[in-house]
Amino acid sequence: MLNKEELIKETENAIKWIEDYVKNSNAKGVVVGCSGGKDSAAVLAMAVKAIRKRTCSCRINAM
């Protein structure tokens, strides 16, 4: 299990990876499919932080 500092660093690394990937692919934004769970919410939050002024679209699967 990660301690708080390790978790913050891993989250920052993931955000940076998303930011670099979107920038290097010349994408205008990202689409994140959300199931409504904690993992989906975390990925969506990181994507929003990573792309800032670009477009982020979210689709929630409501069954």
Stated pTM of the model = 0.76
Average pLDDT, integer, range 36-42: 86
Q: Give the pLDDT band of residue 48 (cuts 50, 70, 90).
A: confident
CA distance 2 to 29: 30
pLDDT at 36: 78
Q: Give the pLDDT band of residue 51 (cuts 50, 70, 90).
A: confident
Cα angle vertex 25, ends 6, 36, to 5°? 55
Quick one: tokens of 33? 């499919």
Average pLDDT, integer, range 31-58: 80
* Domain assignments of the chain as residue spans, ordered by start: 4-60
Would the pLDDT of 62 be above 70?
no
